[in-house]
Chains A and B, each alone.
Chain A
Amino acid sequence: MSQTVPEDHVTVRSDPVDANDAVVAIEDLSLWYGDFQALRDVSLTVPKNQVTALIGASGCGKSTLLRSVNRMNDLVPGVTVQGKIHYEGADLYDPVVDPVEVRRRIGMVFQKPNPFPKSVYENVAFGPRLHGFKGDMDAHVETSLKRAALWEEVQDKLQQSGLGLSGGQQQRLCIARAMATEPDVILMDEPTSALDPIATDRIEELIHEIKQDFTVIIVTHNMQQAGRVSDRTAFMHLGVLIEEGPTERIFTNPQHEMTERYISGRFG
């Protein structure tokens, strides 16, 4: 079922994030694909070194919101954006901001593992090479793979194709590749939806570990996953941010009736 959201809905916020902890602050963001409005006045503050989960039914705009943060939506023809996303004192949608630089600082991991049809080594080295990395590339690749908990498994096959790895390994390779460009924020768009439960476990563990160095925003369809990996959760419906707050609070004591119904599995 889909329930309409009233025009004047105000996002329910519990335990709001302190502005000093914010890395990314989305402010009144609206987005249209052609005539279709996919996001309606979304405001969300993402705290540093924490995992923020975006949940909601299919088509609720959570992926769109995620892709707005590193301006991947710019690549879709016919997209218009209104509002601001503050990052390091600048507005990401300010015309002077270079989307290419934004994507270097805010990395992304996709739904389906998408390693390049190149060697494991070249996959990780791709980003640093693009940005003129000067230094010991071997060491950098090794560090990145270790951070993605993949080094042990691939150290003997660095020169083999990344496509030869298992699905879970490929996804960790993609995470290593994203980390290799030294971003501040890593966006994950349903990173485990194509993986089996064991591979999913490993990715979730990994997300726990990397939040010491990175800020993570993750879109997930899997409520248990949101509960396991995230510190804060934001629930969206039909392009509107219904409620956000600490994950525990959202899952045990949702304030809005729609959130409560989604969490308890009564719609979506």
Chain B
Amino acid sequence: MSLAHRNDADRRRQEAKRARGRTFVAITFVPVVLALALVATLFADVITDTVSWQIVEPAYTTESWSFTEGFAFFSTWENVVEKELVARGEDPAVVLDDPEERRKFRLRNRVELLWQLDGAPLRYVVTSSRDDTVADYGFFEGLRQLDAIRAEAGEGQEVRLNPWLDAAFLTKNASRTPVMAGLGNALIGTLWVIGLVIVFSLPIGVGAAIYLEEYAPDNAVTRFIELNIRNLAGVPSVVYGILGLYAFVRVFEFGPTVLSAALTLSLLILPVVIIAAREAIKAVPPSLRQASYGLGATKWQTVSQVVLPNAITGITTGMILAVARAIGETAPLLLVGAAAFIPRAPEGPLSTYTVVPIQIYSWVAENDVEFAHVASAGILVLLAVLLVLYGAAFYLRRRFERSW
């Protein structure tokens, strides 16, 4: 039979078929474009929100120093504060050498990299909690009305472009004053919680996966367990919060501590870890197991020396994705008692704590418009952490994927 169209009617039918195909592709393409546009908008919004124009009336008439003048490895703070105090005509040794004075100064002042319109871009400035923010303009609004804003700034006031997200933001602690607020304790809290989550969920999750995949008999009980694990992966996280509140905070009396939070989040991600680990174990080719058994290996030798080493990449990838989920969880931790404001960083599993998403949540709930910038800076940090984790998972998958 010839491949050419036999007649015109035949050709029209062919073309109509192709047109239908193109329409279908176009319809499926629309949501993809929409989704990409939304993600781009979200990022643009969050990023521009972390920068604002401010008219500030400094409590002290401050000097500023260029990046090369101010920056020093591990001691930028000391370096800039010393220059500032000299400029104020004070003796820097009084503040810097006395631990108590130093602590007080640190609570009230912050070394920031700011864009002062009068000076060069990005100069170090010592800001104070007593600095008075006269007005705050969003990034684009400020750009549009820059001249008006400059005219508005009166005597003793200056216009600054404040990038809320800078190095100091990562170390400063929660504060009632927006410029003094940072993620410090929340980051340490997240590290503690997530560290413990990994300690709890990795061995339990991988152990359960090994049992279900390699040892469990194929019977009704096993199938019931498998079904439940799949269902648990879809349970809303706030339900785990209620469970955690009852079990860990009340019954085990761990209270609103890092330990309760870590246990709750471990329960939350365990189904995901188990499913990912099982998939990774299942992906180890049977030929390798056979090779191992053929050499006289026992079941456990085969699992520990052949199956696990070859599943470890998949398990790690799954674990990273699960941890990324745990890092962003807010609802269950609100229930098990993460604090919005804690004066000091957690020191152990039984400390009170806060975590990054809770901290962001509390900033968003503040009235002060400046806290919106702080919240945006926090969101950006959270997104960056998640991006790094997803990137690591992607890299692992690409780098170590093997074809047998």
Contacts and interface: CB of A to CB of B under 8 A. Distances in A.
Contact of A100 (B291, B297, B310): B297
Contacts of A103: 293-297
Given A112-B287, A117-B310, A75 B295 contact: no
Contacts of B296: 100-105, 127, 130-131, 181
B104 interface: no
B402 interface: yes
Q: Chain B interface: which size bin?
A: 10 to 19
Given A77-B218, A116-B306, A117-B310, A130 B287 contact: no
B294 A72 contact: yes
Interface in A107-164: 107-108, 110, 112, 114-117, 126-127, 130-131, 163
B71 to A, nearest CB: 45
Given A77-B218, A116-B306, A117-B402, A100 B290 contact: no
Contact of B294 (A70, A77, A115, A131): A70
Contacts of A105: 296
Nearest to A180: B295
A100 B294 contact: no
Given A77-B218, A130-B301, A114 B295 contact: no
B323 to A, nearest CB: 26
Contacts of A127: 295-296
A114 B301 contact: no
Interface string A171-211: 00010011001000000000000000000000000000000
A110 B294 contact: yes
Given A77-B218, A116-B306, A130-B301, A177 B295 contact: yes
Nearest to B296: A104
Contact of A107 (B287, B294, B305): B294
Contacts of A181: 295-296
Contacts, number: 61
Interface string B5-29: 0000000000000000000000000
Contacts of A112: 287
Which secondary structure characterizes the binding site on chain A? helix
Given A114-B288, A116-B306, A117-B402, A108 B294 contact: yes
Contacts of A75: 290, 293
B362 interface: no
B96 to A, nearest CB: 55
A46 B296 CA distance: 21
Given A116-B306, A117-B402, A130-B301, A178 B294 contact: yes
A217 to B, nearest CB: 13
B298 interface: yes
Contacts of B294: 70, 72, 103, 107-108, 110, 178
Contacts of B298: 100
B250 to A, nearest CB: 45
Contact of B291 (A70, A102, A116, A163): A116
Contacts of B301: 130
Contacts of B218: 77
Given A117-B310, A117-B402, A178 B293 contact: no
A72 B402 CA distance: 26
Nearest to B306: A116
The listed residue with most A CB atoms (<10 A of its CB), out of B218, B292, B310, B402, is B292
Nearest to B301: A130
Contact of A110 (B287, B297, B305, B310): B287
Nearest to B285: A114
Interface in B201-232: 218
Nearest to B299: A100
Contacts of B288: 114, 116-117
A178 B296 CA distance: 10
A241 B291 CA distance: 27
A102 B293 CA distance: 10
Nearest to A129: B305
Interface in B271-311: 285, 287-288, 290-298, 301, 305-306, 310
A102 B298 CA distance: 11
Contacts of A70: 294
8 contacts: A72-B290, A103-B297, A105-B296, A110-B291, A114-B287, A114-B290, A115-B291, A117-B310
Interface of A: 70, 72, 75, 77, 100-105, 107-108, 110, 112, 114-117, 126-127, 130-131, 163, 174, 177-178, 181
Given A103-B293, A103-B296, A107-B294, 5 more contacts: A75-B293, A100-B298, A110-B291, A114-B288, A181-B295
Q: Which 4 A-B pairs have the closest CB atoms?
A: A104-B296, A108-B294, A114-B287, A127-B295
